[in-house]
Amino acid sequence: MSDKRLRIIMLILCILWICLIFFMSSDTNSYDKTLSFSEGVSSQIHGTEAGIEINGNKDGNTEVDIINLSIRKSGHFLEYLVLSVLLLKKSEVYGMQGKKTIGYVLLICLLIASLDEFYQSIVPGRNPAVVDSLIDFGGAFMGMVLYVGIGRLIGKFKHKVEI
């Protein structure tokens, strides 16, 4: 594949992924959807009917609530993990490398996370949260660590094979 074609594809993938992030933030019923999924998971684990309290927990932190929160927050984390990997690959394809590139990618991810939380403040039924932006940034950071770490491992393996 030519460099020009790969550059265009990577740019389009980054833009589409950012659009997907904002599209998912537009879902006014996302809490209810993940809650019904979480209730199903909990009932499968314990063989109980969805929506009942597990182990007599009455403080509002039922197992279903914990599963629901975990699913929702892991979604934030994974969205930005993928975004940072896409942005790093795009930067590599465009010939940008080094510590500055990593800093720019993390800054872009933090900016998009902040804009996403602001956007959620105007979507009915959604609420912005600074914690979500921090989780997003954590996902972006982990994506960067994985991308750089795997890249170094592959580089070492290629070097050993060539010898």
Overall average pLDDT of the 2-26 stretch: 94
pLDDT in tens, 70-98: 888 888 999 999 999 999 999 999 988 88
More confident residue, 29 or 122: 122
What confidence category does residue 157 fall into, taking pLDDT thresholds of 50, 70 and 90?
A: low
Cβ-proximal residues to 23 (8 Å cutoff; 6+ apart), any chain: none
More confident residue, 84 or 61: 84
* DSSP secondary structure of 73-127: HHHHHHHHHHHHHHHHHHHHHTT--SHHHHHHHHHHHHHHHHHHHHHHHHSTT--
**Taking all residues of the chain, what is their mean pLDDT, rounded to a whole number?**
83
For a pLDDT cut of 90, what percent of the chain falls above it? 48
Does the pTM surpass 0.85? The reply is no
Cβ-proximal residues to 81 (8 Å cutoff; 6+ apart), any chain: 139, 140, 142, 143, 146
pLDDT at 161: 45
Could you identify the residue written with the tokens 């510590």?
99
CA distances from 17 to 21, 133, 156 (A): 6, 17, 30
In the chain, domain spans? 3-29+75-162
Is the model's pLDDT at 105 over the cut of 70? Answer: yes
Is the model's pLDDT at 160 over the cut of 60? Answer: no
What confidence category does residue 53 fall into, taking pLDDT thresholds of 50, 70 and 90?
A: very low
Query: Token pair for residue 110?
Result: 């933090």
